[in-house]
Chains A and B, each alone.
Chain A
Amino acid sequence: MLDILSLLDITFFLLAAMGALIGIIFGAIPGMTATMAVAVCLPLTYALGLHHGLALLLGLYVGGISGGMVPAVLLNIPGTPSSITTTFDGYPMAQKGEGERALRVSVVASVVGGLISAAILFLFAPLLAEFSIKFSYVEKFLIILLALTVIASMSRNMLVGIFSGVLGIWLSLIGTYSISDGGNGHTRLMFDFLEPYLFEGFSLLPVLIGIFGIATILLEAEKGVKSGLAGTEIKIGKGGGFSLNLFKGRLTNLVRSSFIGTFVGMLPGVGGSAASVLAYTQEKNLSRDSSEMGKGAPQGLIASESANNALTGGALIPLLSLGIPGDSTTAVLIGAFTLQGIQVGPLFIPENADTWYVMMTALVFANIVMFFLMFYAIKHIAKVVLVPKYILYPIIVMMCVVGAYAINYGIMFDVWTLLIFGVLGYLIQKVGLEVAPLIIGFILGGQAEVYFVKSLESFGTYSIFFTKSPIAVVLWLLIAASVTFSVVMGLKSRAKNRLETTQ
């Protein structure tokens, strides 16, 4: 245990704090997300050691998720998708002149959600890892299949979701079937003249930075980069001081929403908006008096913000124990870990106990820093929502370039990958395909191939995927359940739509 203390120096805490601050700023600017914060700040971690890099990244993650509440409350614009339900009660409160109180309620809810989910992560991830160590290639392949099915079934349309996921897998297969994975080293899915560039396929991080950085800018550019907010007046208001009494009788809500957030975070590819929407509707259904919700009730803020911050711990559970990212931000984190030489998966926690404790420390510390920064400096932070985009966007493109270029120590093709996937990411979103399944498919595609082909090579029959072990059967049942769930939900919403159109 003492070894770990020696790893935690002043720089470690400063980096976690800096990460939280930068994350909050990114989260607070509408249109910028925690994912972007992590992607844009990646180059900073190249030069840092493993533990310092982790401190910065986790700080960014926590800060980025919670920063989204600021524009949600003050401007009625969710800064990150997960703060959408924060606007329901936050904005009405801000208009009544209770902006500061709304923000402080949200901050307290966020930190509670973050800490509860960190505790669940701490207890649960090692158990899951220990369980999954016994998995053979067959079960590992089925886990990936399950992850992709869950993501696809959470999409607006399951067919489109599955297609997006398969497209992601396809993109990940471009390049060689690597000899180090037991392949034969031949290239596929490309033209011969591209071989010098694409021998190893597209690098993960330039792809992610392109899709989350450049594509976002293109989507904004298409809309003309409206500066709209410059003239807006921000009403923080003095009225209605904050006291912990606001939380009286709200403990159940707080804890329930945190658990909902953590659980939804664990499901791969399901974004934060699902967590906060679910927690919000649960509070609406279960609370004794929900009549004020939507008109400026603190209880709505509590549900929404504790759930969306609880995502952070939840999403790290499958990442650290199975190597499967829980959302798009953790997808970028997986790239950053690989860069630091960490292979996340079942063996990660048992083999890197020090790193694991360091990560937990960073996560808890980032939550605490986030709390103090937001609670006491909220008025000043709120002003960043007004930074003009014509200043911000060029800087973001510049940082994306640095991130992509430096990843493989100076390969210009990685920078072009940014543009290719920036444009592709733009087109994907315009024609209605889903980004989350595509990204997760891209990240897991290579592994899926290796597990699939190796299973067949050693057993020589497709039926092995059904008969290998009881776990395989359970995984198939879960896959079937998530498909059924999606189909039933789809039919329900269709029936509802039909009912509404006939009325």
Chain B
Amino acid sequence: MESGLTSLFSVSIDFETSHLFFPHIINWLMGGLFALILVFKVVPFLAAVRRGEETLPILGESMDKFRFFGSIALIAAYFYLMAVVGNLFPYTGYGFLFVSMAFVFLMSMMYMHTKTKRKVITAVINAIVAPSLAWFILAKLFQITLP
């Protein structure tokens, strides 16, 4: 009964390594597709860049470096400090509350282009009110865990 075609398709999966079976297929698929994209998309694109018709993404574009990297750094610091301060006052959500206030204010200042007294005051009020409100509603009313 066993013809050439059925044995070609037949497969048995060893339970011990079954966690690798599907990832292997996906790895190969991804590698193959990546090669295709490299040949049909990336190489022509790089050629166009060399001719000056296109610009490289990220590297070749003008970007607001201060605000972009500032955002990433600020967000990373926010996440880190939240846990640190949160450990000082466990189960209160104060880590979230206090660090969020500082974060909201600093990010507002960073995104503000022209600083006027009025705008800064708005930012300060926002930085105090918004985290307090979020903290009160979520941690106090809804009993949601916060750092």
Contacts and interface: CB of A to CB of B under 8 A. Distances in A.
B67 interface: yes
Interface stretch (A268-276, A398-406, A479-487): A398-406
B19 A391 contact: no
A221 B145 contact: no
B103 interface: yes
Contacts of A95: none
Contact of A47 (B72, B126, B144, B146): B144
Given A43-B144, A222-B64, A461 B6 contact: yes
Contact of B23 (A188, A390, A415, A419): A188
Contacts of A240: none
A422 B75 CA distance: 11
A183 B83 CA distance: 34
Contact of A460 (B10, B78, B123): B10
Contacts of B130: 394-395, 398
A289 interface: no
Interface string A183-201: 1111111000000000000
B144 A159 contact: no
Interface string B103-147: 111011111110000010011001100110010011001111111
Interface string B27-46: 10110011011001100000
Contact of B30 (A157, A166, A184): A166
B89 interface: no
Interface string A416-450: 10110011000100111000000000000000110
Interface stretch (A13-21, A170-178, A306-314): A170-178
Contact of B147 (A177, A390, A412): A412
A390 B112 contact: yes
Contact of B122 (A391, A405, A427, A448): A391
Interface residues of A, number: 70
A29 to B, nearest CB: 15
B30 A410 contact: no
Interface residues of B, number: 69
Interface in A443-469: 448-449, 452-453, 456-457, 460-463
A397 interface: yes
A184 B33 contact: no
Contacts of B11: 456, 460-462
A159 B41 contact: yes
A467 B70 CA distance: 56
Contacts of B103: 394, 397-398
A391 B123 contact: yes
Interface string B64-89: 10011011100110110011000000
B112 A415 contact: no
Given A47-B143, A188-B23, A391-B122, A419 B30 contact: no
A405 B147 contact: yes
A455 to B, nearest CB: 10
Contacts of B79: 401, 412, 415-416, 418-419
B57 interface: yes
A221 B18 contact: no
Interface stretch (A125-133, A223-231, A343-351): A223-231
Contacts of A163: 30, 33-34, 37
Nearest to B20: A188
17 contacts: A46-B142, A160-B37, A160-B41, A163-B33, A183-B19, A184-B16, A221-B67, A224-B113, A227-B112, A401-B82, A401-B96, A406-B145, A406-B146, A415-B79, A415-B82, A419-B79, A431-B58
Interface of B: 5-6, 9-13, 15-16, 18-23, 26-27, 29-30, 33-34, 36-37, 40-41, 57-58, 63-64, 67-68, 70-72, 75-76, 78-79, 82-83, 96, 100, 103-105, 107-113, 119, 122-123, 126-127, 130-131, 134, 137-138, 141-147
Nearest 10 A/B pairs, CB to CB: A47-B142, A177-B19, A224-B64, A390-B111, A394-B107, A394-B104, A410-B145, A221-B71, A449-B22, A463-B9
